[in-house]
Protein backbone atom coordinates (compact mmCIF):
# COMPACT_ATOMS: atom_id res chain seq x y z
CA UNK A 1 0.00 0.00 0.00
CA UNK A 2 1.59 3.29 -1.09
CA UNK A 3 2.17 5.76 1.72
CA UNK A 4 2.78 9.48 1.64
CA UNK A 5 3.21 12.21 4.22
CA UNK A 6 1.20 15.44 4.08
CA UNK A 7 2.87 18.48 5.69
CA UNK A 8 1.82 22.09 6.31
CA UNK A 9 3.17 25.14 8.14
CA UNK A 10 1.58 25.69 11.54
CA UNK A 11 1.92 27.75 14.72
CA UNK A 12 2.45 30.92 12.71
CA UNK A 13 0.54 33.25 15.02
CA UNK A 14 2.23 35.87 17.17
CA UNK A 15 0.76 37.42 20.32
CA UNK A 16 -2.61 38.96 19.51
CA UNK A 17 -2.36 37.68 15.92
CA UNK A 18 -3.62 34.20 15.18
CA UNK A 19 -3.96 32.33 11.90
CA UNK A 20 -7.23 30.62 12.67
CA UNK A 21 -7.12 27.43 10.62
CA UNK A 22 -4.38 25.73 12.66
CA UNK A 23 -6.50 23.15 14.42
CA UNK A 24 -8.51 22.25 11.34
CA UNK A 25 -5.28 21.74 9.42
CA UNK A 26 -3.85 19.55 12.17
CA UNK A 27 -6.83 17.25 11.60
CA UNK A 28 -5.80 16.48 8.02
CA UNK A 29 -1.98 16.56 7.83
CA UNK A 30 0.43 13.93 9.09
CA UNK A 31 3.35 16.32 9.74
CA UNK A 32 3.37 19.86 11.17
CA UNK A 33 6.13 22.36 10.43
CA UNK A 34 5.94 24.48 13.59
CA UNK A 35 7.18 28.08 13.45
CA UNK A 36 9.94 28.75 15.98
CA UNK A 37 9.61 32.41 16.92
CA UNK A 38 11.85 34.09 14.33
CA UNK A 39 9.64 34.56 11.26
CA UNK A 40 6.46 33.80 13.26
CA UNK A 41 5.34 31.92 16.35
CA UNK A 42 5.73 32.91 19.97
CA UNK A 43 6.25 30.67 23.00
CA UNK A 44 2.54 30.52 23.89
CA UNK A 45 1.46 29.78 20.32
CA UNK A 46 4.22 27.23 19.83
CA UNK A 47 3.37 25.41 23.04
CA UNK A 48 -0.30 25.19 22.11
CA UNK A 49 0.49 24.02 18.57
CA UNK A 50 2.88 21.33 19.76
CA UNK A 51 0.34 20.05 22.29
CA UNK A 52 -2.43 19.93 19.69
CA UNK A 53 -0.18 18.13 17.20
CA UNK A 54 0.95 15.63 19.82
CA UNK A 55 -2.64 14.92 20.85
CA UNK A 56 -3.46 13.99 17.24
CA UNK A 57 -0.34 11.93 16.56
CA UNK A 58 0.85 14.44 13.97
CA UNK A 59 4.66 14.36 13.59
CA UNK A 60 6.23 17.61 14.80
CA UNK A 61 8.96 19.38 12.89
CA UNK A 62 10.81 22.61 13.64
CA UNK A 63 10.37 25.24 10.94
CA UNK A 64 13.22 27.72 11.50
CA UNK A 65 13.33 30.94 9.50
CA UNK A 66 15.15 34.23 9.23
CA UNK A 67 14.74 36.68 12.14
CA UNK A 68 12.27 38.83 10.18
CA UNK A 69 8.83 38.83 11.76
CA UNK A 70 7.92 41.94 9.77
CA UNK A 71 8.56 40.06 6.52
CA UNK A 72 7.26 36.70 7.80
CA UNK A 73 10.64 35.22 6.84
CA UNK A 74 9.78 35.54 3.17
CA UNK A 75 12.46 38.11 2.29
CA UNK A 76 16.00 37.08 1.55
CA UNK A 77 18.35 38.34 4.29
CA UNK A 78 22.10 38.22 3.73
CA UNK A 79 22.92 36.30 6.88
CA UNK A 80 26.25 34.44 6.81
CA UNK A 81 26.39 30.64 7.08
CA UNK A 82 27.67 30.80 10.70
CA UNK A 83 24.77 33.12 11.56
CA UNK A 84 22.31 30.74 9.88
CA UNK A 85 23.79 27.79 11.74
CA UNK A 86 23.39 29.56 15.08
CA UNK A 87 19.83 30.68 14.22
CA UNK A 88 18.81 27.12 13.41
CA UNK A 89 20.40 25.63 16.54
CA UNK A 90 18.53 28.18 18.65
CA UNK A 91 15.16 27.58 17.02
CA UNK A 92 15.43 23.79 16.95
CA UNK A 93 16.36 23.80 20.64
CA UNK A 94 13.32 25.86 21.52
CA UNK A 95 11.04 23.43 19.66
CA UNK A 96 12.66 20.41 21.28
CA UNK A 97 11.88 21.84 24.70
CA UNK A 98 8.20 22.27 23.87
CA UNK A 99 8.07 18.72 22.53
CA UNK A 100 9.64 17.39 25.72
CA UNK A 101 7.21 19.47 27.78
CA UNK A 102 4.34 17.92 25.82
CA UNK A 103 5.62 14.39 26.40
CA UNK A 104 6.63 13.83 22.81
CA UNK A 105 9.71 14.47 20.72
CA UNK A 106 10.77 16.52 17.73
CA UNK A 107 10.98 14.44 14.54
CA UNK A 108 12.33 16.66 11.78
CA UNK A 109 13.50 20.08 10.65
CA UNK A 110 12.36 21.98 7.58
CA UNK A 111 13.66 25.45 6.83
CA UNK A 112 11.10 28.21 6.19
CA UNK A 113 10.46 30.72 3.46
CA UNK A 114 13.37 32.69 2.07
CA UNK A 115 15.84 30.61 4.06
CA UNK A 116 14.44 27.45 2.47
CA UNK A 117 14.51 28.96 -1.00
CA UNK A 118 18.07 30.20 -0.62
CA UNK A 119 19.31 26.90 0.77
CA UNK A 120 17.59 24.96 -2.01
CA UNK A 121 20.12 26.59 -4.38
CA UNK A 122 23.04 27.62 -2.12
CA UNK A 123 25.16 24.74 -0.78
CA UNK A 124 26.77 26.89 1.94
CA UNK A 125 23.42 27.91 3.38
CA UNK A 126 22.14 24.34 3.08
CA UNK A 127 25.22 22.99 4.86
CA UNK A 128 24.74 25.53 7.65
CA UNK A 129 21.20 24.28 8.25
CA UNK A 130 22.15 20.61 8.02
CA UNK A 131 25.12 21.07 10.36
CA UNK A 132 22.92 22.84 12.88
CA UNK A 133 20.53 19.91 12.90
CA UNK A 134 23.37 17.42 13.19
CA UNK A 135 25.03 19.08 16.19
CA UNK A 136 21.74 19.35 18.07
CA UNK A 137 20.42 15.87 17.29
CA UNK A 138 21.71 13.64 14.46
CA UNK A 139 18.55 11.56 14.82
CA UNK A 140 16.36 14.36 13.45
CA UNK A 141 15.15 13.92 9.88
CA UNK A 142 15.66 16.69 7.35
CA UNK A 143 12.81 17.68 5.08
CA UNK A 144 13.68 19.57 1.89
CA UNK A 145 12.77 20.24 -1.73
CA UNK A 146 13.21 17.05 -3.75
CA UNK A 147 16.49 17.04 -5.64
CA UNK A 148 17.70 20.38 -4.21
CA UNK A 149 20.86 21.49 -2.43
CA UNK A 150 18.95 21.04 0.84
CA UNK A 151 18.78 17.33 0.24
CA UNK A 152 22.43 17.13 -0.84
CA UNK A 153 23.55 18.94 2.30
CA UNK A 154 21.52 16.60 4.49
CA UNK A 155 23.21 13.68 2.76
CA UNK A 156 26.66 15.20 3.46
CA UNK A 157 25.63 15.62 7.12
CA UNK A 158 24.43 11.96 7.20
CA UNK A 159 20.93 12.94 8.27
CA UNK A 160 17.81 10.96 7.47
CA UNK A 161 16.26 12.71 4.48
CA UNK A 162 12.70 13.29 3.38
CA UNK A 163 12.08 14.92 0.01
CA UNK A 164 8.96 16.95 -0.63
CA UNK A 165 6.94 18.16 -3.60
CA UNK A 166 4.53 21.10 -3.62
CA UNK A 167 0.87 20.58 -4.39
CA UNK A 168 0.04 24.22 -4.99
CA UNK A 169 3.16 25.56 -6.67
CA UNK A 170 4.10 25.61 -10.37
CA UNK A 171 7.33 23.91 -11.46
CA UNK A 172 9.83 25.21 -13.98
CA UNK A 173 10.98 22.73 -16.67
CA UNK A 174 14.21 22.13 -14.73
CA UNK A 175 12.31 20.90 -11.68
CA UNK A 176 12.71 24.00 -9.53
CA UNK A 177 9.73 25.95 -8.20
CA UNK A 178 8.62 28.95 -10.20
CA UNK A 179 9.44 32.04 -8.10
CA UNK A 180 6.44 33.61 -6.35
CA UNK A 181 7.16 36.83 -8.21
CA UNK A 182 6.10 35.16 -11.48
CA UNK A 183 2.43 34.95 -12.49
CA UNK A 184 0.98 31.51 -11.96
CA UNK A 185 3.59 30.52 -9.38
CA UNK A 186 0.93 29.66 -6.81
CA UNK A 187 -1.93 27.42 -7.93
CA UNK A 188 -5.32 28.36 -6.54
CA UNK A 189 -7.68 25.84 -8.15
CA UNK A 190 -8.22 23.01 -5.64
CA UNK A 191 -9.23 20.57 -8.40
CA UNK A 192 -5.92 21.14 -10.19
CA UNK A 193 -3.98 20.73 -6.96
CA UNK A 194 -5.76 17.52 -6.09
CA UNK A 195 -4.99 16.08 -9.51
CA UNK A 196 -1.36 17.06 -9.26
CA UNK A 197 -1.07 15.51 -5.80
CA UNK A 198 -2.53 12.24 -7.06
CA UNK A 199 -0.20 12.04 -10.06
CA UNK A 200 2.82 12.90 -7.91
CA UNK A 201 2.11 9.98 -5.61
CA UNK A 202 0.74 7.38 -8.02
CA UNK A 203 2.73 8.15 -11.19
CA UNK A 204 5.75 9.97 -9.74
CA UNK A 205 5.22 12.77 -12.28
CA UNK A 206 4.37 16.48 -12.26
CA UNK A 207 3.62 18.73 -15.22
CA UNK A 208 5.86 21.78 -15.54
CA UNK A 209 4.57 25.18 -16.71
CA UNK A 210 5.58 24.43 -20.31
CA UNK A 211 3.81 21.07 -20.36
CA UNK A 212 6.91 18.97 -19.82
CA UNK A 213 6.28 15.95 -17.63
CA UNK A 214 8.88 15.85 -14.86
CA UNK A 215 9.68 12.84 -12.69
CA UNK A 216 9.22 13.62 -9.00
CA UNK A 217 9.97 11.38 -6.06
CA UNK A 218 8.46 12.67 -2.87
CA UNK A 219 8.23 11.33 0.67
CA UNK A 220 5.96 14.19 1.58
CA UNK A 221 3.55 16.60 -0.10
CA UNK A 222 3.39 20.19 1.04
CA UNK A 223 0.52 22.66 0.77
CA UNK A 224 0.52 26.13 2.27
CA UNK A 225 -1.37 26.36 5.52
CA UNK A 226 -1.96 30.10 5.56
CA UNK A 227 -4.14 30.65 2.53
CA UNK A 228 -7.90 31.09 2.84
CA UNK A 229 -8.62 27.72 1.26
CA UNK A 230 -5.88 25.69 2.94
CA UNK A 231 -8.22 23.49 4.93
CA UNK A 232 -10.46 22.60 1.98
CA UNK A 233 -7.48 21.95 -0.26
CA UNK A 234 -5.73 19.68 2.21
CA UNK A 235 -8.95 17.88 3.04
CA UNK A 236 -9.70 17.25 -0.63
CA UNK A 237 -6.17 16.03 -1.31
CA UNK A 238 -6.26 13.67 1.62
CA UNK A 239 -9.66 12.29 0.65
CA UNK A 240 -8.69 11.69 -2.98
CA UNK A 241 -5.43 10.02 -2.01
CA UNK A 242 -7.14 7.75 0.50
CA UNK A 243 -9.83 6.88 -2.05
CA UNK A 244 -7.04 5.92 -4.43
CA UNK A 245 -5.66 3.56 -1.81
CA UNK A 246 -2.83 5.75 -0.56
CA UNK A 247 -2.12 5.80 3.16
CA UNK A 248 -1.33 9.20 4.76
CA UNK A 249 1.30 8.84 7.46
CA UNK A 250 4.30 10.73 8.82
CA UNK A 251 7.54 10.11 6.94
CA UNK A 252 9.43 10.54 10.17
CA UNK A 253 9.14 7.63 12.54
Q: Which residues bind a second copy (CB under 8 A)?
A: 12, 14-17, 37, 40, 42-44, 46-47, 67-72, 74-79, 82-83, 86-87, 89-98, 100-101, 114, 132, 135-137, 226
Rounded Cα distance between 10 and 13, Å, is 8
Minimum distance from CB of 66 to a second copy (Å)? 9
Toward a second copy, which CB reaches closer, 67 or 175? 67
Q: Which residues contact 100 (CB under 8 A, 6 or more apart)?
A: none
Cβ closest to a second copy, residue 82 vs residue 204:
82
Nearer to a second copy, 101 or 213 (CB): 101
Least distance to a second copy, CB of residue 228, Å: 11
Contact criterion met (CB below 8 Å) for 47 and 26: no
In angstroms, give the least distance from the CB of 162 to a second copy: 21
**Contact assessment for residue 164 and residue 219, using Cβ atoms and an 8 Å cutoff:** yes
For the chain, give the number of residues: 253
User: Is the torsion defined by CA of 36, 40, 200, 175 positive or negative?
Assistant: negative
Bridge partners of 248, per DSSP, are 4
Nearer to a second copy, 101 or 209 (CB): 101
Q: At its nearest, how many Å lie between a second copy and the CB of residue 192?
A: 25
DSSP 28-59: T-SEEEEE-SSSS--HHHHHHHHHHHHHHTPE
With respect to a second copy, which residue has the nearer C-beta, 71 or 175? Answer: 71
Q: Shortest gap between Cβ of 248 and a second copy (angstroms)?
A: 28
Least distance in angstroms from the C-beta of 98 to a second copy: 6
Residue in 29, 4, 14, 34 with CA at minimum distance from that of residue 201: 4
**Which residues lie across from 8 on neighbouring strands?**
32
Closer residue to a second copy in complex, CB, 105/240: 105
Amino acid sequence: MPTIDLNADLGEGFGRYRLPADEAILDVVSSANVACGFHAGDPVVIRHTVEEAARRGVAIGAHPGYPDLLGFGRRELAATPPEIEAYVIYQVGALQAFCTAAGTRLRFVKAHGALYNRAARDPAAADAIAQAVRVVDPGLAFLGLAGSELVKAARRAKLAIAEEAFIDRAYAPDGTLLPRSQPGAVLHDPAVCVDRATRMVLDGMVEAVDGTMLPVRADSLCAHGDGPTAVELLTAVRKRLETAGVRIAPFAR
